[in-house]
Structure 1
Amino acid sequence: MRDKMANWTSRDDAMVEDAIRRGANRRELLKMMLMGGVALTAGTAILGRAGAAFAATPNKGGHLKVAGFSASTADTLDPAKASNATDYSRICALYNRLTFIDGSGQTVMELADSIESTDAKVWTVKLRKGVTFHEGQSLTAKDVAYSLMRHLDPAVGSKVNALAKQFEGVKAVDDLTAEITLVAPNADLPTILALHHFMIVADGTSDFSKGNGTGPFLLKEFQPGVRSIMTRNDNYWKGTGPYVDTFEFFAISDESARLNAVLSGDIHVGANLNPRSMRIIEGNSAVAPFVSKLGTYTNLNIRLDMAPGDKAGVVEGFKYLVNRETIQKSVLRGLAEIANDQPVPSWNPYFNAELKQREFDPERAKSLFQKAGVLGQEIHMVASEAASSSLDYAAVIQQAAGKIGLNIVIDRVPSDGFWSNNWLKDAVGFGNINARPTPDIMFSLLYQSDAAWNESRFKSPKFDAMLLEARGMLDQAKRKEIYGQMQAMVSNEAGTVIPAFQSNLDGVSPKLKGLVANPLGGMMGYTLAEHVWIEA
């Protein structure tokens, strides 16, 4: 039973808290934990901890300071263009979505009162009454129609254009009813609408500098690449939260400096810390770890349309050259699960458990590189602090490469501008992908042939057709079978090397309360500012 307890995380605590909120009694909660393999005595302790968290009385007031890890002049307040944790943290404070994914991973309603369909193709959205934007206008179905359909406009440059292409049309039936018609059925639509990019903005908005949303904070100051300051929305429609008076968000690109800022009390949260920082955190009362088990990963991307990735065997060679166990145990300090070059983690119900794990096999890698004619050549590998742990990943790969005669040069680039200047552009380089709740979303954003974030330029008409087939399928067993085949295709054919799924580590002040892990990312799925309070 000790092993079961070792795997019980803050995310699991969140499941208990959410169940309490939904009215579950003590017997139902203990039964839920026993089914998960938790001992009765341990379950009682967890229940007490979750109950205390739920019952805690939030304090109002204070200035919340949060430091992320990356910022640039490309930072945006336009949800459609958001591309990293920095953008997500700001837009989650200013706007709301139709739906939300809670700490237990369940899709719940937010601005929508209900979303229903009889055929998974035509969906009726009923909006909550009495919701207003910061500038005073009431939320209506026209705002929903505009917010969703603008993702299809090429001029907008939406990061989820590939997902939005599922929208055949969105129209306002009346003030509080919108109708979404899809090109083809998709049973995942309510979950898709919970993604950060699908925040609802006011009808006709083209200037996002004011951050006019329905969210918990009002924008006071925004300097792209520098910082943002927001003040509490006292007319927030939810009636609870936010609790802090003001919220300041900025970036400290150096990880050590970010941790030291928490230790010194200069900030309340240092986001996305390197797992090696656990040694410092565990022995210091001035900072507490906030660990979120996610499907987040840092991956090595080898573009298939550029040298050396356009040579047969090069990508496969890298997949056998990566020592996944070293990355899991040494680089990530055990805060990770070994992965196999596809983006669906083992806890996802659609995970392909039959997909064979790749072993570290440098001799096989050498043979592949030799046939490709790249041994002895310089291969530049771009890494940055902006892509979590990528510098350490690069060092592990470089060391293994040197032993087989592959000359890898690590190009270390600054965090500032990495996402706009390097990611998706370098021939061999790293990315860092936040968790997504469904295979359809992951595949649509990252592997569909025309996806904006197709990191390795993987193109497969067969894969695209399977994506469409599975999307509208109501037979879950068949759907899982298709997603399993697609995972194998990505693992074997795409130019992305995914060594491990990382748990996210944020360093927080012990004075910060109300933290609950969320599957959409660190910092409570980037909604932290709305829910936390500062202990007096």
Structure 2
Amino acid sequence: MRPRVAAAAGGAIALVVALGACSENTGEGTTVDTNRTQTGVIATDPKDSQGPAPEVEGAQKGGTFTIIRETPISHLDPQRTYSFAGLMASPLFARYLTTWKDDGKGGLVLVGDLAETPGTNVNNDCKVWEFKIKDGVKFEDGRPITSKEIAYGIARSFDPDLTSGPTYIQEWLADTPQFDTKWDFKKNKGSLPPGLTTPDDKTLRFEFAKPRCDLPFAASLPTTAPLPPDKDTGVNLDTRPFSSGPYKIAENQVGVKLTLDRNPNWDPNTDPVRHQYPDQFVWTFGPTPDAANNRVIADNGADQSAVAFNFVPASLVAKVAGDASLKSRTILSPTPSANQLVINNQRVTDLKIRQALNYAIDREGLIKALGGQTVAAPLTTLMPPSTIGYKQYDAYPAGATGNMEKAKELLGGQTPELVLGVSDGATEQQMGTQLKANLERAGFKITLRNIPDDAKLDEIKKKDNPWDLYIGNWAADWPSGASILPVLYDGRSIKPEGNSNQAYFNDPAINAEFDRILAMPPAEQGPEWGKLDERIMKEHAPVVPLFVDVAYVVHGSKAGGVFISSVFGYPSFVNAFVKQ
């Protein structure tokens, strides 16, 4: 999850990839657009970072917009925010150094949010970065936001009591994953971590030991949300964050309801992405996905201007897909979340067996078992289509349902006995049953072994785990090949526990390619990631790509402006409005 992007002088850095972009489902049937071209642009013209955000067609002011979700948002404190729900809620009340303009139609532009631009690479070596802070940006109490409060927000993210948030910037400043041991926030309150300075109220400066061309992307995460020191309530900031965005916390009935009112000190002329259309946003917690979606489908009262944050569950897919009156109230979009049948390369060392697994896979059957195309879209690449640098290919073309004969040919009469570890949650149990039947038709003998759902991720991250296969999922923090391939397949990162490289794949030539591409000018990296994606699969087949998750969302008849975030794959509310 370490993309590398640096701003160049003049113009913009643009990389084009294919993406299944979100769209209103207004046609017959339930189809997902997987052919739209997305542009990912890092803006370098300061005008792109200026406000106000373009008006949303048909948008009106007023009303209450409701978001229904089963479980509470884990953290509201921006420095601790890392869940999808949190990342979608936070932009309503928090601003960052940079942010994404997302048109909901396949266009992404990284722009300055609190900063005038997405950053200046001072010496053109990615080691020193400066951000100039905009005039007119304010907190909810009217005081100006300066570089000092942004720096303080970053500094408090070093506090080991404030865990759960992204750690990119902390690790880069400290030049170690153990950043909280390198610099102690509590002992050094009033000062800043080494490498972070504020030469004046309008300037924030980062100095790194190593090149960090990724900084403009990392700065778009909530780590860079500002906070005045006198408003820092420590762990209690989760209950009531201090607003820098268009809304502020009016009431928080923890675990029940979160109410956001307009922030009168937010200036739309400084904000390139957000609006302030509804009078109020209300997050309500408790209803199951079935109950939440049924409420929105019924379209009564306050639920007319509501969205169910939990996707349409499998139990309701047929009902929603078959109701013509709901077509204009549903959104379908592939997400950046990719799923694989991960092969433990330490245990499955025979390339032909790994290739046979790829030929054998029945993606159509697996997707049908999960609920169909409103739940998942087939994937044959390591990177999902929403990635800058994405290249469409199929290294082991076996059609929609697999090529059993080709798989058997590669096995050469062998009957490999493989252990497939699956969590004891309902979805993976369903997938495990389907995969076992599928692979055994091709000549494998598959033994299913259950792993407690809440322990599975920790267990498969252990280098010496006892499984040959397991189901993996990866959603990058931003749409770059550098945030996927090196993280998942650089063998030099393998350690006894806590591995992101859960295939335990290690090839010196591929590792060298990671270094080569990461050292290139950022604008040239995208296509190289696509080429390397294909090379890894053709030469090594370390996993079996399965599918990308699909967002299937229902909203009320009076809920407007909702789209699926191209970065995080969940409903975005920066354009939301209530139809009057």
Coarse TM-score class (shorter-chain normalised) = 0.7 to 0.9
The one-letter code sitting in structure 2 at the alignment partner of 1:56 is G
Q: Does 1:249 align with 2:283?
A: yes
For 2:507 and 2:37, locate their aligned partners in 1 and report how far apart those are by CA, in whole Å: 42
- The 3 A distance-change label for structure 1 pair 315 and 198 is farther
Aligned match of 1:29: none
For 2:202 and 2:334, locate their aligned partners in 1 and report how far apart those are by CA, in whole Å: 37
Q: Does 1:126 align with 2:152?
A: no
- C-alpha offsets along residues 390-412 of structure 1, whole Å, 9 cap, x if unaligned? 56544431331454564554859
The one-letter code sitting in structure 1 at the alignment partner of 2:110 is T
Aligned match of 2:85: 86
The one-letter code sitting in structure 2 at the alignment partner of 1:237 is D
- The 3 A distance-change label for structure 1 pair 300 and 108 is same
Contact 2:376 2:547 in 1 (8 A): yes
For 1:487 and 1:80, locate their aligned partners in 2 and report how far apart those are by CA, in whole Å: 36
What secondary structure does 2:207 align onto? strand
The one-letter code sitting in structure 1 at the alignment partner of 2:131 is V
The one-letter code sitting in structure 2 at the alignment partner of 1:123 is W
Question: Which of 323, 329, 334 is residue 283 of structure 1 equivalent to?
Answer: 323
CA shift for structure 1 position 352: 3.8
CA shift for structure 1 position 248: 2.9
Structure 2, unpaired ranges of 5+: 1-17, 25-32, 40-45, 49-53, 176-194, 461-466
For 2:344 and 2:258, locate their aligned partners in 1 and report how far apart those are by CA, in whole Å: 35
Question: Which of 188, 193, 196 is residue 219 of structure 2 equivalent to?
Answer: 193
For 2:227 and 2:539, locate their aligned partners in 1 and report how far apart those are by CA, in whole Å: 40
For 2:488 and 2:156, locate their aligned partners in 1 and report how far apart those are by CA, in whole Å: 20
Structure 1, unpaired ranges of 5+: 16-21, 25-50
Q: Does 1:332 align with 2:334?
A: no
CA shift for structure 1 position 203: 5.0
For 2:132 and 2:413, locate their aligned partners in 1 and report how far apart those are by CA, in whole Å: 60
Structure 1 stretch 482-491 or stretch 105-114: which is displaced more?
482-491
Contact 1:282 1:289 in 2 (8 A): no
- The 3 A distance-change label for structure 1 pair 356 and 496 is closer
For 2:92 and 2:520, locate their aligned partners in 1 and report how far apart those are by CA, in whole Å: 35
CA shift for structure 1 position 327: 4.1
So what's the TM-score if we normalise by structure 2? Answer: 0.67
Aligned match of 2:553: 506
Aligned match of 1:312: 349
- The 3 A distance-change label for structure 1 pair 55 and 250 is closer
What secondary structure does 2:91 align onto? helix
Aligned match of 2:66: 65
- C-alpha offsets along residues 165-204 of structure 1, whole Å, 9 cap, x if unaligned? 3446222121111112344445443233224555444458
- The 3 A distance-change label for structure 1 pair 274 and 252 is same
Contact 1:327 1:396 in 2 (8 A): yes
The one-letter code sitting in structure 2 at the alignment partner of 1:456 is Q
Question: Which of 112, 115, 135 is residue 115 of structure 2 equivalent to?
Answer: 112
For 1:532 and 1:96, locate their aligned partners in 2 and report how far apart those are by CA, in whole Å: 17
Work out the number of aligned pairs and report it. 478
Contact 1:101 1:191 in 2 (8 A): no
CA shift for structure 1 position 60: 0.9
Aligned match of 1:454: 500
The one-letter code sitting in structure 2 at the alignment partner of 1:67 is I
Aligned match of 2:480: 438
The one-letter code sitting in structure 1 at the alignment partner of 2:198 is A
Q: Does 1:519 align with 2:519?
A: no
For 2:38 and 2:544, locate their aligned partners in 1 and report how far apart those are by CA, in whole Å: 31
- The 3 A distance-change label for structure 1 pair 297 and 13 is closer
Aligned match of 1:351: 390
Q: Which runs of structure 2 are paired with 1:133-212 in the superposition (5 Å)?
A: 133-134=139-140, 137-148=143-154, 156-157=162-163, 159-162=165-168, 164-167=170-173, 169-196=195-222, 198-202=224-228, 205=232, 206-207=234-235, 208-209=237-238, 210-212=240-242
CA-atom RMSD in angstroms: 4.5
- The 3 A distance-change label for structure 1 pair 519 and 475 is closer
For 2:288 and 2:359, locate their aligned partners in 1 and report how far apart those are by CA, in whole Å: 31
For 1:290 and 1:465, locate their aligned partners in 2 and report how far apart those are by CA, in whole Å: 42
For 1:192 and 1:325, locate their aligned partners in 2 and report how far apart those are by CA, in whole Å: 36
- C-alpha offsets along residues 260-313 of structure 1, whole Å, 9 cap, x if unaligned? 121123741123235772652451535711223433334445666xxxx74535
So what's the TM-score if we normalise by structure 1? Answer: 0.72
For 2:512 and 2:523, locate their aligned partners in 1 and report how far apart those are by CA, in whole Å: 18
For 2:204 and 2:243, locate their aligned partners in 1 and report how far apart those are by CA, in whole Å: 18
CA shift for structure 1 position 500: 1.9
The one-letter code sitting in structure 1 at the alignment partner of 2:207 is T
For 1:446 and 1:510, locate their aligned partners in 2 and report how far apart those are by CA, in whole Å: 42
CA shift for structure 1 position 382: 1.3
Contact 1:423 1:431 in 2 (8 A): no
Aligned match of 1:48: none
Contact 1:66 1:250 in 2 (8 A): yes
Q: Which runs of structure 2 are paired with 1:420-435 in the superposition (5 Å)?
A: 421-426=455-460, 428-431=470-473, 433=475
What secondary structure does 2:130 align onto? strand
For 2:317 and 2:110, locate their aligned partners in 1 and report how far apart those are by CA, in whole Å: 33
Q: Does 1:474 align with 2:518?
A: no
Contact 1:141 1:178 in 2 (8 A): yes
The one-letter code sitting in structure 2 at the alignment partner of 1:374 is E
Q: Does 1:214 align with 2:251?
A: no
Contact 1:186 1:472 in 2 (8 A): no
- The 3 A distance-change label for structure 1 pair 479 and 298 is closer
For 2:210 and 2:374, locate their aligned partners in 1 and report how far apart those are by CA, in whole Å: 42
Aligned match of 1:56: 58
